[in-house]
Amino acid sequence: MDEIRVGLVGYGTAGAFFHAPLIQATPGLKLVGVVTRDPDRAAEVRDKHGAQAVAEAEELFPLSDLIVVASPNRTHVPLTRAALSAGLPVVVDKPLAATAAQAEELVRLARSRDLMLTVFNNRRWDGDYLTVKRLVAEGTLGEVRRFESRFERWRPVHKGGRRETGGPDELAGLLYDLGSHLIDQALWLFGPVREVYCEMDTRREGVASDDDTFVALTHAGGTRSHLWMSAVAGQPGPRFRVIGSAAAYVKHGLDVQEEQLRAGHTPGSPGFAQEPDERRGTLGTEGDSRTLPTEPGAYLDFYTGVTAALREGTPPPVDPEEAVATLTVIEAAHLSALESRVVHLT
């Protein structure tokens, strides 16, 4: 393909701030159409991206070589199934599905039609996570005994929208949202999980799903991952606290790429994905530590990988089977919270 025509389903936060600018910044991709019924968003799609605004996903299929599903969570499975059935490769925003079984069904469909299917786990390309990944790979921390990872915010009054006020049918709540990233990161670093424990709470009035959740994973290799996601943390804890036999790494604050994309910057903007020195993490032990530069974030690598997969047949940037594994853990976490017990996976 000289130019891969991309159809984007959905132009909310994910579509407008993540997918559309990253697609436009990727050589070889061209955003040709976006599904949105909102007149103001449709005008933005035409004026900002030079793309066609359509009302239904099926209108994109004849125009596109690749479909990106960034619509509400509950629509991911039917839209992905429809696009694959139409013979089109698909990028799906997380979560891929509500259950591991649903996700596996999509994986089988993609394989039966020899089509690429991948999941937008962009947080694998956060700069701070890439820093942790390098430290683990190099053995700088020694044997990693506990991996602490947090997405905590202070939003005492909810902002509305399906992700907060929606119930189970909407796949709402933090476990499906931020938890998909946290669990995916832990699995990618430390491998399969044998035990899952979870505490889920809904703290705010008017919210129908979890907004304050903790998940503990015991990996087959022995590492324990402790994962927090919260909308009611008045003082957020460290983004990462990784404790090893030789040293620890502690990092506060979130990766800068999201705030830059929301501010209208693109991967080609000067300083994009570069974290200020004052936000560096620390590496070492008590009384013997130093600040450590954070690796540059690399969200664009996801869509560069998509392009390579379609043109050259390389593996997709995120294997959809890895999304199945994440959903298996999410299902176990829901069961753990419901029954107040540890769930054994192996």
How far is 275 from 296, CA to CA, in rounded Å?
7
pLDDT for 161? 75
123-298+328-344: what CATH class? alpha beta
Query: DSSP 3-state assignment of 117?
Result: strand
Backbone phi and psi for residue 309, each to the nearest 5 degrees, phi listed first: -65, -40
pLDDT for 1? 59
Fold entry, domain 4-120: Rossmann fold (3.40.50)
Tens-place pLDDT, residues 318-341: 999 999 999 999 999 999 999 999
Alpha helices in the chain (DSSP H): 13, 20-25, 39-49, 76-85, 100-112, 127-138, 162-165, 178-190, 257-262, 300-312, 320-339
Q: Which two tokens stand for residue 316?
A: 């997709």
**Every domain range in the chain assigned CATH 3.40.50.720:** 4-120
pTM as predicted: 0.96
Return the percent helix, strand and coil in the chain, to nearest 5.
Answer: 40, 25, 35
**Every domain range in the chain assigned CATH 3.30.360.10:** 123-298+328-344
pLDDT less than 50: residues of the chain: none
Residue type, 183: I
